[in-house]
Structure 1
Amino acid sequence: MNQLLDREATAATAQFTAKQGQYLAFIWAYSQIDGRAPAEADFQRYFKVTAPSVHQMLKTLDQLRLIEKQPGVARSIKLLVPPQRLPILGLD
């Protein structure tokens, strides 16, 4: 239980780059619209990047404790950053 609270507290105060912020904002927006987390292919289409680029970004966000993923479970991304800390999602 304490690990969960520590992880959420870390996410609430963590810093992230502009690009990381866009990925986090995309996760939030997609989840609000579709009712489930985006798949890696959804990131590829939106950001016009390769599958390895998406995978590496999600791995980085997980390591920074900004998201949480269940290995081997599709669409299991959980956003750990409060929505009010996210930037506006833009089109790059």
Structure 2
Amino acid sequence: MNQMSDKAAPGFTPKQGQYLAFIDAYTRVNRRPPAERDIKHYFGVTPPTVHQMILTLERAGFICRTPGASRSIQVLVAPEDLPILQDHYQPVKTSVSRY
């Protein structure tokens, strides 16, 4: 859920908004963009899932990257148009065999 009331929606899905919010927050805190591995760890998804989302966000014009440069993701959406970043901590699931 984003925090816009009187403004038009920026056109991204809730999931895309969370990825954009994470990239923006990570960049502000660490003073450099996240690697795809950082995004993978935060969302608890597979590397192909992260890569596909990055490509989708880039094609939609929400981010840009420098070809061949690592950690080059730049969010093109204004910070005030980004949703609040939700906590995506996923506890490790374990299975217990029944005796």
Q: What TM bracket, shorter-length normalisation?
A: 0.7 to 0.9
Amino acid at match of 1:70: T
Q: Tell me which of 13, 16, 28 is aligned to 1:17.
A: 13
Amino acid at match of 1:43: I
Is contact 1:14-1:66 (8 Å) kept? no
Aligned residue pairs, count: 80
Give the whole-Å Cα distance in 2 for the aligned partners of 1:85 and 1:23.
13
Q: What is aligned with 1:38? A: 34
Higher helix share: 1
Give the unaligned 5+ runs of structure 1: 1-12
Aligned-pair Cα RMSD in Å? 1.1
* Percentage of matched positions with identical amino acids: 52
Q: Tell me which of 73, 80, 98 is aligned to 1:77.
A: 73
Amino acid at match of 2:59: Q
Give the whole-Å Cα distance in 2 for the aligned partners of 1:49 and 1:20.
14
> 1:14 Cα shift?
4.0
Is contact 2:10-2:81 (8 Å) kept? no
Amino acid at match of 2:13: T
Q: Which runs of 4+ in 1 moved over 2 A?
A: none
**TM-score, length basis structure 2:** 0.78
> 1:71 Cα shift?
1.7
Give the unaligned 5+ runs of structure 2: 1-8, 89-99
Q: What is aligned with 2:23? A: 27
